[in-house]
Amino acid sequence: MIEMKHVKKQFDEVTALSDITANIEEGHVFGLIGTNGAGKSTLLRSISGIFQPEQGEILIDGEPVYDNPSAKSKLFFISDDQFFFAGSTPQDMLSYYETMYPNFDRERFYTLLDVLKLDKKRKINTFSKGMKKQLSVLYGVCAGTKYLLCDETFDGLDPVIRQAVKRLFIQEMEQRNMTPIIASHNLRELEDICEHIGLLHQGGILFSRDLDEMKLGIYKVQYVLNNADDFAKLSSRLEVLQKEARGSLSTLTIRATHEEIADVMAELQPVFWEILPLTLEEIFISETEVLGYDFKHLTL
């Protein structure tokens, strides 16, 4: 488990992280959401032991991570701006990572390199941005670490490769209980993989919740009522978080149980109604609006 206790990080007069307290359980995909400048990269660099917080502490399986090779050996950090030695090839960087990570799986690395059609002898500086991202993911996966920290890792990948990387993460989780921590400003990238979400805003975590728990008690309902007055009856009985209308068809996001919704609809007897599945974006927006924040721009 990764534990963050009252972590604060400053750069001169700028507070990048402010009193962050959160835990990341192992064996689950943790999504770290936040706009550009929210502190995601700083937090990942602090978790990886690159930055030392001015206050608080970060523990990897109970060990402080900063200046601690034992704790650092349990994680691999894929930064948004990947670094490769000048003039190096994938094969050259492999030799470097093998000295850093004794459990590096050379055979699997070469296999995955062939699958993604990346030339092991080609200069990395001639690779496209997406190819460099793919290469970084392969190093991270094959390093054999318990935790994999990913900073905007899906940015720059085409949809096919993005799904391939997600499947690779899931496979690693099933085979050796790897824990990916994925930072992104785009909820759509995390929709189908994350099990737990943390929202970072202005250097602090607004909330950290399990997605299954967030889904409980929030529903999207489409309906056509017999008359406009029926909406007042509905909203007096159910907590309406959002409403959209297109002609006679309305869509509500409601905080209630399935049974409560069914009871109200049975009483009103609308022309038509149905419960639709909520997307991660809709759940996220509903939760943040309850806290008094407008984060619709995060889902663009």
Average pLDDT estimate for 44-63: 95
- pTM of the entire predicted model: 0.80
Q: Predicted confidence band at 289 (pLDDT cuts at 50, 70, 90)?
A: low
Domain locations along the chain: 2-209, 217-299
pLDDT in tens, 133-192: 999 999 999 999 999 999 988 887 888 998 999 999 999 999 999 999 999 877 777 777
Pairing of strands 63-64, 204-210: unpaired
The CATH architecture that domain 217-299 belongs to is 2-Layer Sandwich (3.30)
SS3 of residue 273 by DSSP: strand
Which CATH entry fits the domain spanning 2-209: 3.40.50.300, 2.40.40.20, 3.40.718.10, 3.40.50.1820?
3.40.50.300
pLDDT in tens, 58-101: 999 999 999 999 999 999 999 988 889 999 999 999 999 999 99
SS3 of residue 25 by DSSP: coil
How far, in whole angstroms, is CA 124 from its chain's centroid?
27
Question: Sheet harboring 272-276: ordered strands across?
Answer: 239-246, 249-255, 218-224, 272-276
Query: Residue 36 pLDDT more than 90?
Result: no
Among candidate residues 96, 82, 156, 90, the one with its CA nearest the CA of residue 123: 90
